[in-house]
Amino acid sequence: MKFNSIRFKATILYTSILAVILIVFSGILFAVTRHILYRNLDEELRVKASEIVTIIKSYEALTSYETRQQHLINKLLGLEDRARLIIDEMWRSDVQALNLNNDYINIYDAAGRSVIRSGNFNESVASLFHHRLPFSGDQVVFKTIGDASLRLRAISLPFSFRQKNMLVIQVGTSLDAVARTLKWVLYFIGLSIFFILGLTSFLGRFFAGRILKPVTNVTRIADDITHTDLNLRIREMEADVEMQGLIRSFNAMIERLEQSFAHVNEFSSHVAHELKTPLAIMRGELELALSETRDVDEYRRVIAVTLEETDRMIRIIKDLLLLAKFDYNPEVFRFEKFDLTLFLKEIYEQSRILADSKQIAVQCDFPDAAIFINGDKTHLRRLFFNLINNAVTFTPAGGKIHLSLAVSVHAASIEIRDTGIGISPENLSRIFAKFYRIPNPRQDTASSGSGLGLSIARSIARAHKGDIAVVSRPGKGAVFTVTLPLA
């Protein structure tokens, strides 16, 4: 596994977070276990001390309610010995039941003198109790005491004897059992943490690999993609929701690249196709001019033809670049809100001058009310003049061109109607294709334009979220309808 990989970093992150959680949880578990063990041990010490106090009070009861004469009679009859034997038996049974054999027991009087102590309560233990367990005659005290060789949990329990003497009983028991239990708990927690972290690291690496599988697929497909094959895509169903966004973005990027390459290829093929003819004409004319000596007029004609073809190539290149901008760079449009009625009236006045050379009458039918749209005036002007120029081109002298504007709820419709030669059904579906020229029967050739005018016009309309429709029949003229949304 590479240290700078996402899989490694994700595994380390998940394992570290889990390690912190486990350590905190284990610490809390250990503290709670220790508290419970010490609480149970304190309860045992309280029971032991209370039982010892009960035995002592039994001896006290034996002697406190009999007179001297009763004491002598009971002694003669042996009743006192039997009572003491019963109490001794109670003590032995308590020692056995409460496991007092290994405990350290000491009873102090109010002056701090030791009254009764167990056999194992030697001087070192007495010194330990004296220095570590505070002498208290009014409350019960629990404390852990010990040194390097001995650790005890002890209780100091005050009680009254014969209603006038205050005694304190101290009982200490070894913490070895508690320490062994806590040690095993600690071992178990440590081993569990290491086992869980190891298992988590393995599973984390496995699942991180599964999660990152779409990224691997993206990398593999990206390596396989070339400019000649941009059809590869990643299936979204194999990835999680978060990865699906990445896959969609990647697929969209590849689609855009595919469209861009297609556009570049289309642009290149169109340029090569459209420039081939004028270049061939120019070369032929120049070769003809150089083949033998010509007069000045012939040279002038060759130069004029060359300039004409050069201008045609420049127009084609400009139109192609403009069309490319419209299709792939919408930011070239500068939208503003303006009055469409007033704008079309300006177009009408200029179109009359354009049609005057062929004595074509241009008419208009615009409403008086202002109609506002959001658009780019410069490019909309190009759209309408492309349509009007086509109408003038394909309308015979003395014909008519009619401009009209109608408004619906959400859009404005501008009609450009002419009385020209019309468009045949087989040409009608192709007129918006790039470089397609409609044959002009009156000229016995295709129109002399670049074949990009209508394609540019439609791109402008669609950039304004509108469109262009056409209705025509041969010999009946054509009607182009431009639809633009209102502001």
CATH of the domain at 366: 3.30.565.10
In-domain check, residue 416: yes
pLDDT in tens, 407-429: 988 999 999 999 988 888 888 87
Q: Are 108 and 135 in contact (CB under 8 A)?
A: yes
Structural element, H or E, at residue 24: helix 6-64
Residue 371's domain spans which residues? 334-485
Q: What pLDDT is attached to residue 13?
A: 82
- Asked if residue 301 and residue 346 are part of one domain, the reply reads no
- Token pair 């633009």 is found at 484
Distance CA 370, CA 339 (A): 6
Q: Which residue has the higher pLDDT, 59 or 258?
A: 258
One domain, residues 250 and 370: no
pLDDT tens for each residue of 124-141 = 888 888 888 776 667 888
Are both 285 and 408 inside the same structural domain?
no
- Specify whether 375 is located in the same domain as 266: no
Report yes or no on whether pTM surpasses 0.85: no
Least confident of 157-161, 334-338, 377-381, 449-453: 449-453
Longest dimension (CA), the chain: 175
| Phi, psi (degrees; rounded to nearest 5) at 229 | -145, 100
pLDDT in tens, 210-240: 777 777 777 777 777 776 677 777 776 666 6
pLDDT over 70 (residue 484): yes
User: C-alpha distances in angstroms, 181 versus 28, 51, 237, 312?
Assistant: 16, 27, 53, 99
Quickly state the pLDDT bin for 447 (edges 50, 70, 90): very low
Same domain, 361 and 395: yes
In a domain, 217, yes or no: no
In a domain, 195, yes or no: no
Q: How far apart are CA 41 and CA 143, in angstroms?
A: 11
| Domain end residue (candidates: 182, 198, 221) | 182
Cβ–Cβ under 8 Å, residues 48 and 42: no
Does 276 fall in a domain? yes
Q: Answer yes or no: do 27 and 174 share one domain.
A: yes
In this predicted structure, what is the pLDDT of residue 252? 84
Length of the chain: 487
Burial class (CB in 10 A: 0-12, 13-18, 19+), 450: buried
Whole-angstrom Cα distance, residue 326 to residue 310? 24
pLDDT of amino acid 341: 92
Task: Say if CB 168 and CB 135 are below 8 A apart.
Answer: yes
Q: Is residue 234 part of a domain?
A: no
The domain boundary residue, chosen from 276, 303, 325: 325
Please, which pLDDT band fits residue 83 given cuts at 50, 70 and 90? very low
415 phi and psi, to 5 degrees? -105, 135
Same domain, 380 and 449: yes
Which of the residue ranges 161-170, 266-275, 463-472 has the most confident prediction, judged by mean pLDDT? 463-472
Which of 325, 351, 375 is at the close of a domain?
A: 325
Task: Please determine, for residue 470, whether its predicted confidence score (pLDDT) is greater than 50.
Answer: yes
Q: Domain for residue 412, yes or no?
A: yes
Residue 153 lies in a domain: yes
Q: Which residues, 6+ apart, have CB-to-CB distance to 469 below 8 Å?
A: 480, 481, 483
Residue 194 lies in a domain: no
The predicted pLDDT at position 80 comes to: 45
What is the model's pLDDT at position 73?
A: 47
Task: Answer yes or no: do 299 and 395 share one domain.
Answer: no
The number of folded domains in the chain is: 3
Pairing of strands 361-365, 400-407: parallel
Average pLDDT score over residue span 382-403 = 90
Question: What integer is the mean pLDDT of 135-150?
Answer: 81
What are the residues whose beta carbons fall under 8 Å from the beta carbon of 157, sequence distance 6 or more?
46, 49, 50, 53, 140, 168, 169, 170, 171
Q: Do 428 and 293 fall into the same domain?
A: no
Q: What is the pLDDT of residue 8?
A: 77
DSSP state for residue 332 in the 8-state scheme: G
Is residue 27 located within the same domain as residue 171?
yes
The CATH number of the domain holding residue 103 is 3.30.450
Q: Are 257 and 281 in the same domain? A: yes
Which CATH number covers residue 286?
A: 1.10.287.130
Q: What is the pLDDT of residue 444?
A: 45
**Residue 108 corresponds to which tokens in the numbers above?**
């102090």
User: Are 12 and 140 contained in the same domain?
Assistant: yes
371 pLDDT above the threshold of 50: yes
